[in-house]
């Protein structure tokens, strides 16, 4: 999708066009919910926070200027809200979700039963390993490997330098690799 | 002759963000250990990419819109002007007011204590924050809340939404300081201490407290 198109929709929404804002929600709801889910490890919490992301965007519509990718703005807000949520949960003594129990169902496919079992095993291990990473490492992995943001974009979202993105990604992947080796050599 | 391993650079290489890509590619052809790690990391990124996403209910957008009905109308052009011009100016003014105001209050406080020498007699004035405040400062890590973890870097990004929140908070603090309804003496002492040490973390913490209380 075109960033120009995104910002054109934002401009229309700034003028009061709710249909344009609705298009933006539909366009980005899945990646935002997925991002929140990876950070919060709970589908319900992820959806609540993701809704708040779009509410915040709407509230700040008049302040948005097309100086970055719209997705960068979205993930930046999602990052802040997720970190706030995690902090609040820690203050209240509530643990985060249980990743292995709350993994979304896989879409059915033409994979054989044995392939399906192996894939589920790998995904469960990856999800479990990711849940053991720090918030920053989990976030940087998601933004790079799932959303495909480049290092500059990730740096904007995470409010850090590009070199920090590089080192965090390297460390996160190494920790993940170590976890998977621990779970089973055949996973890699 | 073997070349040094490139294990630490493989992550960026896989992402197409390495500055030494040609050299790494050559090395991978002759080094089994780095080549094996390259394969592992490549598989790893594919696994992460393939992680299933939770299903988003069709009613998601409608529920967001329903929440918007309770939200304020979107700000228009004058808010953009506020962010691009007025707020940066207000931020600079707030910072000056904060420094001058806290310095004035603390100096007045120090001079009013009969058991302490005046600032004129002894420079620099001793600043001894309340132990509880001091403990709080020492216990304070890098702030990783809504304003990011590197305040100095974030502050340079004047259009960033997080900075806007920070500006709003600090401007509000400065505004309260003007009316004499700011923080307790201990907090003012802590601010002075932080200013002397150029410690932006304390200012961030105060902004956060203000934000939380607001």
Instruction: Please give the model's pTM, rounded to 2 decimal places.
Output: 0.59
Size of interface A-B (CB pairs under 8 A): 162
pLDDT tens for A113-139 read 676 777 778 888 888 888 889 999 999
The tokens for A59 are 């509230």
Nearest to A38 by CA among A115, A145, A166, A163: A145
Please identify which residue in the block is written with the tokens 């011009």: B85
| Residue A19 CB neighbours (<10 A) | 9
Query: What is the enclosing helix (H) or strand (E) of A90?
Result: helix A70-92
- Chain B residues within an 8 Å CB radius of A54: 64
- Chain B residues within an 8 Å CB radius of A16: 74
pLDDT tens for A78-103 read 999 999 899 888 877 765 554 433 44
What letter would DSSP give residue B121? T
CA distance B63 to chain A (A): 8
Specify the higher pLDDT residue, A107 or A183: A183
Buried b (16+ CB within 10 A) or exposed e, A134-170: ebbbbbbbbbbbbbebebebbbbbbbbeeebbbebbb
pLDDT tens for B1-23 read 456 788 889 999 999 999 889 99
Give yes or no for a contact between A74 and A28, defined as CB atoms under 8 angstroms apart.
yes
| DSSP secondary structure, B141-167, as one string | ----STT-S-HHHHHT-TT-HHHHHHH
- Is B44's CB within 8 Å of A67's CB? no
- Is B64's CB within 8 Å of A127's CB? no
| Residue B193 CB neighbours (<10 A) | 18
Q: Which of residues 56-75 of B touch A (CB under 8 A)?
A: 56-57, 60-61, 63-65, 67-68, 71-72, 74-75
């Amino acid at each position: 999708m075109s960033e120009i198109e995104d910002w054109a929709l934002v401009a229309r929404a700034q003028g009061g066009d709710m249909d344009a804002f609705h298009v933006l929600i539909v366009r980005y709801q899945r990646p935002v919910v997925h991002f929140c889910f990876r950070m919060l490890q709970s589908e319900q919490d992820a959806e609540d926070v993701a809704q708040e992301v779009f509410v915040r965007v709407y509230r700040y519509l008049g302040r948005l200027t097309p100086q970055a990718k719209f997705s960068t703005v979205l993930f930046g807000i999602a990052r802040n809200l997720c970190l706030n949520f995690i902090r609040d949960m820690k203050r209240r003594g509530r643990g985060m979700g249980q990743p292995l129990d709350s993994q979304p169902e896989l879409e059915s496919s033409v994979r054989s039963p044995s392939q399906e079992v192996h894939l589920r095993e790998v995904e469960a291990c990856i999800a479990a390993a990711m849940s053991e990473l720090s918030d920053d490492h989990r976030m940087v992995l998601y933004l790079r490997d799932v959303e495909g943001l480049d290092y500059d974009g990730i740096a904007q979202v995470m409010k850090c330098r590009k070199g920090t993105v590089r080192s965090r990604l390297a460390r996160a992947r190494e920790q993940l690799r170590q976890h998977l080796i621990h779970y089973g050599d055949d996973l890699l | 002759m073997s070349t040094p391993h490139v294990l630490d650079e493989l992550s960026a290489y896989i992402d197409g963000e390495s500055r030494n890509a040609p050299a790494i590619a050559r090395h991978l052809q002759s080094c089994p250990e780095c080549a094996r790690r390259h394969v592992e990391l490549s598989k790893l990124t594919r696994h992460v990419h393939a992680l299933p996403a939770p299903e988003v209910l069709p009613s998601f957008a409608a529920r967001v819109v329903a929440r918007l009905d309770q939200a304020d109308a979107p700000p228009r052009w004058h808010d953009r002007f506020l962010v691009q011009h007025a707020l940066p100016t207000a931020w600079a003014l707030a910072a000056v007011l904060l420094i001058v105001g806290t310095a004035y209050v603390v100096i007045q406080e120090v001079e009013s204590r009969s058991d302490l020498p005046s600032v004129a007699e002894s420079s620099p004035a001793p600043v001894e924050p309340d132990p509880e405040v001091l403990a709080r400062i020492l216990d304070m890590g890098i702030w990783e809340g809504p304003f990011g973890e590197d305040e100095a870097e974030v502050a340079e990004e004047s259009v960033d939404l997080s900075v806007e929140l920070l500006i709003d908070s600090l401007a509000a603090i400065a505004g309260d300081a003007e009316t004499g309804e700011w923080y307790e003496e201990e907090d003012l002492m802590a601010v002075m201490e932080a200013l002397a040490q150029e410690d932006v973390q304390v200012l961030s913490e105060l902004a956060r407290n203000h934000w939380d209380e607001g």
